Amino acid sequence: MEIELTKENYDGEVIKSNMPVLVDFWASWCGPCKMVAPIISQIAEEYNGKVKVCKVNVDDQGELAAQNAIVSIPTVILFIDGKPVKKIVGAHSLDDYEDAIDEFIWLKLINYSVQCINIHTQWIFMHCFYMI
Q: Which residues are catalytic?
A: 30, 33
How many residues make up the chain in this entry? 132
- Name 24's bridge partners: 55, 76
3-state secondary structure 17-54: CCCCEEEEEECCCCHHHHHHHHHHHHHHHHCCCCCEEE
- Name 95's bridge partners: none
